[in-house]
Amino acid sequence: MKQPKGLGRGLDAIFGGDAIDLDAKLKPMSRMAEIDIADIIPNPSQPRTQFDEEALDELADSIRQLGVIQPVTVRKADDGKYIIISGERRWRAAQRADLKTLPAYIREVDDETLYAMALVENIQRQDLNAIEIALGMQRLIDECHLTQDALSEKVGKKRSSVSNYLRLLKLPDEVQLALKEGLISMGHAKAIAGAPADQQVRLLKKCIRKAMSVRQVEETARTLVERPAQTAGFEEEEYPESYSRLVEQLEPYFSQNISIKRSKNGGGRIVIEFGDDADIDRFIERFSK
């Protein structure tokens, strides 16, 4: 069976060992208990910063009917409260469902492992956007005094992946916000990072307005670096966000550059570049599948 993509060794990188058995790992390190919801508090280092309100309401409805199926995982704090390691969505939804107690695994972990578990648990569930992942990694580095090599081991990601995430935090706030809100992909953000710092916001705007592919942003960034005088006033005509979404939908089918050209009367054309006749045959093959 193929290993799932994502965190590689994932939680096994935190607990250690060649193969992870969660039940075996939990028994000597935790105990189950029913805890008052009022005594449970969010993890202050929780990397996830956004919660879908509609999804929380749906989960609350499910909890009212079926109860909490999967316990949350917590750590007891010095003041007697319990800090959430994983399961903040369930805790929030349980509050909306007016539950008074919540089933929980009480774990005995240090701060470094607490932060790492919260980060890994969210990434494995694909709940975090790239900026939230980057912020979580940076917090692990700052508060647990980890090197990037140590962090890559802790969360089971390649050293290059860790560097790419952390590099996002050096981008202008506008670029980080666009990535966080899904207006651009991480590939777009990495390409924008290759442009001169004073041109990155302008390149972001052009990327969104012109519905540029990652490859087109990379080429533009390279041109801005190599020939800045010729590109100082590159066009920034405003295009709807839907143009960008269309290009993203087409990119999986075409490895070539894709662009949308709009005319003054509101019409336009979609341009798909190709190198030779063999590219046409490959297009036909992809569509036939």
Tell me: the pLDDT tens digits for 163-212? 999 999 999 999 998 998 888 998 999 999 999 998 999 899 888 877 88
Q: What is the mean pLDDT of the chain?
A: 77
Q: Are residues 160 and 181 in the same domain?
A: no
Is the model's pLDDT at 126 over the cut of 70? no
**In this structure, what DSSP letter does residue 41 have?**
E
Residue 3 lies in a domain: no
Domain boundary among 112, 139, 166: 166
Residue 132 and residue 189 in one domain: no
181 is catalytic: no
pLDDT (0 to 100) of residue 17 = 39
| 82 within a domain of the structure (yes/no) | yes
Residue 19: the pLDDT is: 35
Write the pLDDT tens digit of every residue in 253-283: 665 567 777 776 777 878 777 777 887 887 7
Domain identity same for 247 and 265: yes
Report how far residue 171's alpha carbon sits from residue 203's, in angstroms, rounded to the nearest whole number: 12
Q: Domain of 214: which CATH number?
A: 1.10.10
**Mean of pLDDT values over 64-68:** 88
- Decide if 4 is inside a domain: no
Rounded Cα distance between 33 and 221, Å, is 55
* Mean pLDDT (whole number) for 146-160: 83
In a domain, 59, yes or no: yes
265 in the same domain as 177: yes
What percentage of the chain reaches a pLDDT higher than 90? 20
6 belongs to a structural domain: no
pTM of the model: 0.51
Torsion of CA 82, 88, 94, 99, to 10 degrees: 0
Is residue 235 domain-shared with residue 160, that is, in the same domain? no
pLDDT at 27 over 70: no
**Contact between residue 48 and residue 91 where contact means Cβ atoms under 8 Å apart:** no
Q: Which residue has the tokens 């105990």?
A: 31
Top pLDDT among 138 and 15 is at: 138
Does residue 2 fall inside a structural domain?
no
CA distance linking residue 140 with residue 117, whole number of Å: 11
16 & 123 share domain:
yes
Give the helix, strand, coil percentages of the chain, each rounded to 5: 55, 10, 35
Q: Which residue has the higher pLDDT, 199 or 46?
A: 199
Mean pLDDT of 238-262: 69
Q: Are residues 233 and 117 in the same domain?
A: no
In the set 88, 121, 132, 218, the catalytic residue is: 88
- Residue 126 inside a domain? The answer is yes
Residue 178 shares a structural domain with residue 228: yes
Q: Domain count for the chain, please give it.
A: 2
> In terms of domains, do 135 and 195 share one?
no
For residue 247, tell me if it sits in a domain.
yes
C-beta contacts of 137-146 below 8 A and 24+ residues apart: 137/162, 137/165, 137/166, 138/166, 138/169, 139/45, 139/47, 139/115, 140/112, 140/115, 140/116, 141/166, 143/45, 143/111, 143/112, 143/115, 144/111, 144/112, 144/115, 144/116, 146/112
Q: Which long-range contacts (CB under 8 A, 24 or more apart) does 54-63 make?
A: 55/89, 56/89, 56/92, 56/93, 56/96, 57/93, 57/96, 59/89, 59/90, 59/93, 60/93, 60/94, 60/96, 60/97, 61/97, 62/93, 63/90, 63/93, 63/94, 63/97, 63/99
Domain that holds residue 207: 170-288
